[in-house]
Structure 1
Amino acid sequence: MNEYLMYIDGNWVGESLQKLEVINPANKQLVGSVPVGGIEEANEAIDSAYDAFQTWSKTTAYERAAYLKRLHKLLLEHKEELAEVMTKEMGKPINESRGEVIYAASFIEWFAEEGKRVYGETVPSHMTEKRMQVWKKPVGVVAAITPWNFPIAMLTRKMGPALAAGCTIVIKPSGESPISAVKLVELCEKAGFPKGVVNLVTGSSSKIGQAIMENEKVRKVTFTGSTEVGKVLIKQSADQVKRLSLELGGHAPIIVLEDADLDIAVKGAMASKFRNTGQTCVCGNRIYVQAQVYEAFLEKFTEAVDALKVGDGMDEEVQIGPLINQKGVDKVASHVANAVQHGASIVTGGKGLTEKEGTFYAPTVLRDVTSDMLVMNEETFGPVAPVQKFETIEEVIKLANHTKYGLAAYVFTESVRKGTRLIEQLDYGIVGWNDGTPSAAQVPFGGMKESGIGREGGREGIEAFLETQYVSIGVES
């Protein structure tokens, strides 16, 4: 068995600690283990990052960019190794894992350059004897808490801007997929980052999280995960007014208007709904189709769903892998059962694939769905596509916005007039218009309402790791 370690102050540590085993959800086989760190290890990592910040923050943007460019190169060179680890520990189909490594590398490349564009400002003074300037400074030690479903990309989306801004970082990956983070930090070591700039702590989420939130040396926490945990972090941050970036839950609507190109709509809905087996925060969770094209869309969509191959993600032809664990399967099954109980019909799928070793659920399409069903009110996080009929744009706007979430939405229409009118009234931070995969390194990613605070990616992404300092200079002779 591969036993991996934590990385603190430039050293691989944790040999004597209890081990957390990582299980492949496709076949229940042991992938490896990581140490179960806690408060002590977290504080050691924070101290290391704090000490390193004193010198790393004084390096130039060009020096920091050089480190990040080396890391970018290494990520692409080790794409196959990283993809295989990712697929084995959390089940993602291998081709999607390869795509994630490329996506993850793009954040490192983007922020290597964006760090050079952290501009200050000279403000025209109202007094001849004063000069007014605005400076940008790195916020300090950053703690990054990352999820299991995109274990490399969600880390580089936080690490890239933090390091480019001059911050140092302590990483706490999910216990479901920590090995991907270990492999990424190995590449950071190969890239030559000074000791203490990048630190990795695995183990107890509650204990490590407690240390992060209580330690005054951590000035910034960036978290991707559930809205429920995000609310806890907000409360815990209050005592120190600790800065937060939160990318939280979603419940994305897919809206198909009567004038949509149905082939484009089906392709976009498939990409959004079934990527990573429906286990993404931006995946389409509710599909609303205008009455005039409801049956035609269902026919084309169901045909595409039926063509999906389910199995172990290491199979090159597989498009749907396992759910992360049995709890995930049970949640999906409960949503389907509730929908059927309230009058929905199963068009295809609708069952767990118990003949397979792992935690698989068949890609599912539900029709005649109504707004009172659980699947239309809670994030399913699985391969279930509920399709509800609507009549007017006014009606679907109300249906789409009737949720506490506001992360992503998708609109399919050939009409600029209708699309513009519709999107302007959607309360979502990200909208794909005739596009099921809108995410990219160079654009802001984040949500409205209870889907988060702040934005990651784009030029906005680095601002979260900077302090703004106003300087008034007296020049009276």
Structure 2
Amino acid sequence: MTDTPTQLFIGGAWVDAADGATMPVDDPATGEIIAHVADAGVKDSRLAEDAAVQAQEEWARTAPRVRSEILRRAYEIILDRTDELAHLMTAEMGKPLAEARGEVAYAAEFFRWFSEEAVRIDGGGGLLPDGRNRMLLSRRPVGPCLLITPWNFPLAMGTRKIGPAIAAGCTMILKPAPQTPLSSLALAAILKEAGLPDGVLNVVTTSRAGEVCEPLLRGGRIRKLSFTGSTNVGRLLLAQSADAVVRTSMELGGNAPFIVFEDADLDKAVDGAMAAKMRNMGEACTAANRFFVHSSLGEEFGRRLAERMGALVVGPGTRDGVDVGPLIDRTGRAKVEDLVVDAVERGARVLVGGRTPEGPGSFYPPTVLTDVAPDSRLMDTEIFGPVAAILTFDDEDEVVRRANDTPWGLVGYVFTEGLDRALRVSERLEVGMVGLNTGLVSNPAAPFGGVKQSGLGREGGRVGIDEFLEYQYLAVPVR
């Protein structure tokens, strides 16, 4: 990791924080410090804002094909450096190398997708109904953006926001999570190598997020905020964005229901449960949180899932054969521990896992709970860990009501072999995405996002670039 940048990236240059501050980056598998990176303050964020604002006009005029080719080159560089980026991600975030390599491919695909969308930004036109004017519609970049990304997918969350911003012609300030800044800094270096002009992307790593971000949102020069993170932080950022009427996209928390009906293919359902629960050690907003299994299948489903979960190998992500790495830190693990203890105290049975291992790092074993009481805290809390909580049901209306009984609405999973039921239940779920007989919904070509308190707007897919574009209507008199 000696070649990984550790400074701020502002105006195309690598610079130290103005006050010289740095912050540590820990390996969650050992607790050891693996790097120190620049810790930005308000002065640094202002310099990044100046760079983004100064570059905006020229970047907006850049030909769409030029923007497209920059993204395509960056896509190819990322794939060429898969192993390097995967090791870096595993070191700072903990996920096993196999998953990290998968994330590199997923992250790169956002750049390829939006390289193709950059040349398809269109407008419209026509004669207005009164016959007096012609309407010409054009689409323009919204302007300088603030992008705030989480730690759980440090490379992919960056490309999912940077890709459409570049394609649309927007300049950016990227503020990555303090736990995982190295992947974002590596990404900035790749984009510079791919030919991105100075000032278009600026990366500000900081442990002082509130101090750094609030002045940007209230200042009036940042015109777009794209945030992925918790609902509580999202609410705060929405309030800060109100003064300057900053356009916002919010990808927030989830509390995904996973519903298994009596006619489900149980092999598919267990496979889907493993994918929906254990991707990224359960540290994903799309992770299945509440498993509703028909009472006729509850015991067998729990047995099979516990058998599969119990066979997973827990350990440092760099070690061969490891399936489950550490959680991001001790605080995250303590939260998972508390939720499991609460559920057990309310009557849940532990089929596998449930005990925190001794030793260094923030490991927690894959855990399956059954007979979970509906009032257990993990029923209305995003677990963000490798814990599957199983409840049973008998009636379709009942399970739909229970699935929707949450302020979140990101994703739901439905397993049934009946076409009518599949469509009916999917349409009744109050979520932005549904996995129908599959436990994996994320794809760069599909619109990602939720309803209710799971967020605003969509990322990815054909609509992903819309978040970074404005319409302008031009009225032309008919002569």
TM-score interval, smaller chain: over 0.9
1:373 equivalenced with 2:376 (yes/no): yes
CA-to-aligned-CA distance 1:294-336 (integer Å, 9 cap, x gap) = 1111111111011100000011311111011111111111111
* Counterpart-to-counterpart distance in 1, 2:366 and 2:220: 46
SS of 1:95's equivalent in the other structure is: helix
1:29 equivalenced with 2:32 (yes/no): yes
Counterpart pick for 2:109 among 93, 100, 106: 106
Counterpart pick for 1:50 among 53, 66, 89: 53
How big is the alpha-carbon RMSD for the aligned residues of Structure 1 and Structure 2?
1.1
* Counterpart-to-counterpart distance in 2, 1:125 and 1:350: 66
Match in the other structure for 1:188: 191
Match in the other structure for 2:325: 321
* Pairs within 5 Å for 1:298-447: 298-354=302-358, 356-447=359-450
1:85 equivalenced with 2:88 (yes/no): yes
Match in the other structure for 2:156: 153
What is the aligned residue count? 475
How far did residue 474 of structure 1 move? 1.6
How far did residue 422 of structure 1 move? 0.8
How far did residue 21 of structure 1 move? 0.5
SS of 2:321's equivalent in the other structure is: coil
Counterpart pick for 1:12 among 14, 24, 47: 14
Q: Is the 8 A contact 1:39 1:210 kept in 2?
A: no
CA-to-aligned-CA distance 1:249-271 (integer Å, 9 cap, x gap) = 00101101111111110011001
Q: Is the 8 A contact 1:53 1:167 kept in 2?
A: yes
Counterpart pick for 1:202 among 201, 205, 222: 205
Match in the other structure for 1:223: 227
SS of 2:223's equivalent in the other structure is: strand
How far did residue 223 of structure 1 move? 0.2
Q: Is the 8 A contact 2:219 2:244 kept in 1?
A: no
* Pairs within 5 Å for 1:222-301: 222-301=226-305
* Counterpart-to-counterpart distance in 2, 1:206 and 1:239: 16
* Counterpart-to-counterpart distance in 1, 2:353 and 2:427: 35
The residue type equivalent to 1:68 in the other structure is: L
* Counterpart-to-counterpart distance in 2, 1:286 and 1:23: 31
* Counterpart-to-counterpart distance in 1, 2:129 and 2:433: 40
* Counterpart-to-counterpart distance in 2, 1:318 and 1:212: 42
The residue type equivalent to 1:113 in the other structure is: E
Please identify runs of 4+ aligned residues in structure 1 that moved more than 3 A: none
SS of 2:475's equivalent in the other structure is: strand
How far did residue 184 of structure 1 move? 0.6
Identity of aligned residues (%): 44
SS of 1:464's equivalent in the other structure is: helix
TM-score, with normalisation over the residues of structure 1?
A: 0.98
How far did residue 129 of structure 1 move? 4.2
How far did residue 208 of structure 1 move? 1.6
CA-to-aligned-CA distance 1:436-460 (integer Å, 9 cap, x gap) = 1111001100000000000000011
Unaligned stretches of 5+ residues in structure 2: none
* Counterpart-to-counterpart distance in 2, 1:129 and 1:449: 42
How far did residue 75 of structure 1 move? 0.7
How far did residue 371 of structure 1 move? 1.2
Q: Is the 8 A contact 1:95 1:316 kept in 2?
A: no
* Counterpart-to-counterpart distance in 2, 1:33 and 1:411: 44
Q: Is the 8 A contact 1:96 1:276 kept in 2?
A: yes
How far did residue 214 of structure 1 move? 2.2
